[in-house]
Amino acid sequence: MIRLILLGLLSAAFFSATFILNRSMSLSGGHWVWSSSLRFFYMFFLLVILITINRGADYLRDVIKIFVKNSIFWLIAGSIGFGTFYSLLCYAADHAPGWVVAGTWQITVIATPIVLLLFKEKVPRYGVFFSFLIFFGILLIQFYNKESELAVKHILYGVIPVVI
């Protein structure tokens, strides 16, 4: 359990840092579509490396065979899922500070128990507790300065695209 929590924290830190890089690209004149495309391709190579390290080259070959056999499905599903997901994240990072996007992105953790419940799976109580704790933290981050005009802009351009 501790290993999973540490892995989750490490991945969240890594993923959150990319929002800051996206914002940096945006401030230097880069377009959010370019950032989204780079993120998509970067993820592909990262997965190839991780699969090879954890499962070996034979397993990677099997995955590639399955992909080729069902390539139309995987390209459409991947483009919709990752393409939409990354595009909205990069759009948000382009139009709002990285901390807004990184803080809001944590809401994806809450999606897991919801999806499990929709598929009539059991959700451990501690999972629900931690999901609500994360959600409370997100609310604190996002609505701390809710009265300022800048906060409204952050919510419109940084929070809503990530939540979608």
pLDDT above 70: residue 92: yes
E strand spans, 32-106: none
SS3 for 87? helix
Kindly report, residue by residue over 45-71, the tens digit of the pLDDT: 888 998 999 999 999 999 999 999 999
What pTM does this model have? Answer: 0.62
Considering only CA atoms, give the Rg of the chain: 18
SS3 for 41? helix
Kindly report, residue by residue over 135-145, the tens digit of the pLDDT: 888 777 766 65
E strand spans, the chain: none
Contact 32, 93 (CB under 8 A): yes
Q: Averaged over 13-19, what is the pLDDT? A: 73
Residues 8 and 153: their CA atoms lie apart, in Å, by 30
